[in-house]
Amino acid sequence: MASEREVFGLSGPLHLTNIDWNNAHHRRSVAASLVEGVYILERDRQEKREGSQALAPPWWEFFHFKLVRKLIDDVDFCIFGAIYEYKPPSSHCNDSIVSIDGNPRYVIAFRGTITKPDSFTRDFELDIHIMRNGLHQTSRFEIGMQAVRNMVATVGASNVWLAGHSLGAAMAMLAGKTMAKMGNFLEAFLFNPPYLSAPIERIKDKKVKHGIRIAGSVITAGLALAARGKNPRSRSEDPFSALSAWTPSLCVNPADHLCSEYIGYFEHRKKMEEIGAGAIERLATQHSLGGLFMSVVGRVWKPRNHCICFLLQI
């Protein structure tokens, strides 16, 4: 039996009958609904719900999108993503559309982990790859990345949005970063992407929490300077500089331990600027401690580019 959450008529944003594509809340809501559509596409597959029994279509059809392709994992053959095309009503002068400025032509959406037997094993395997910084080496990511490349090559970066939740947000983030390095800055909506670090945000004492973050920034920046001395690199070769112009929309649930550290991260950056230590923090954000340690002792180091200038929304 379907859960209430899967039924658009019970859980979807039915109040958004007039979409203003210049309204940030409307854009986020549509992106979130399209991601939810991917979840339910896979649940429809698992439950063998087809035709009039399928629950996924209203999640995109309500906003005048058409499903043009399902992204299928090559290991367990589950649906992990979808490509939607925006097909507005024939007349733009009706009540359905307030403004078509800013609307996407295509949205590529990725779901997160589903805790059902048919897909959980593969999803959990990919969650482990995220923890090991190896998502880019998986066949699922490569399938999604190729879909993004092809769509951008066909219609242009300005016409493509990325969206994802949890594991799917990690995939969308990585795909967006990859495209940004090539000068293609895609609109992206990342819902609760994992932030892998010590759970400093859970510390209640603000002074202790702030002290730990400052110490971490100073140590990281110091190691970064040491690494820079061993491996000088021009600004044009710096991948972090290439990413600085990309500003995806990050939507974080403060109660989710896997992503709430983003909140502390941005608050810390602001605090460091306020106390006059912004340069230290800007240097620290470009590097991971693990990568820096390897660089300082002479091992091969490839920067992980953890941090981007996000538009943080809570």
Q: Classify 146 as helix, strand or coil.
A: helix
Most confidently modeled range among 2-11, 75-84, 122-131, 285-294:
75-84
State the burial class of residue 218 (Cβ atoms within 10 Å of its Cβ: 0-12, 13-18, 19+).
middle
Q: How many CB atoms are closer than 10 A to CB 154?
A: 11
Distance (Å, whole) CA 50 – CA 55: 9
Q: Give the tokens for residue 258.
A: 């896997």
Q: Which residue has the higher pLDDT, 231 or 42?
A: 42
pLDDT (tens digit per residue) in 100-128: 568 999 999 999 999 988 888 999 899 88
Measured between its terminal Cα atoms, the distance across the chain in Å is 33
Asked if the model's pLDDT at residue 140 lies above 90, the reply is: yes
Q: Give the tokens for residue 196.
A: 């892998």
Q: What is the β-pairing status of strands 187-191 and 65-72?
A: unpaired
φ, ψ dihedrals at 7, nearest 5°: -90, 115
Distance (Å, whole) CA 64 – CA 30: 10
- Angle (nearest 5°) at CA 268 between 286 and 302: 15
Predicted local confidence at residue 131, as pLDDT: 77
Q: Please name the amino acid found at residue 284.
A: A
Q: Which of 106, 52, 113 is nearest to 78 (CA)?
A: 113
Q: Which residue has the higher pLDDT, 52 or 263?
A: 52
Distance (Å, whole) CA 49 – CA 47: 5
Q: Looking at residues 145-161, what average pLDDT do you find?
A: 97
Q: Please state, for a pLDDT cut of 90, what percent of the chain lies above it.
A: 49
Contact indicator for 75, 139 with CB cutoff of 8 Å: yes
Predicted local confidence at residue 299, as pLDDT: 38
Asked if the model's pLDDT at residue 96 lies above 80, the reply is: no
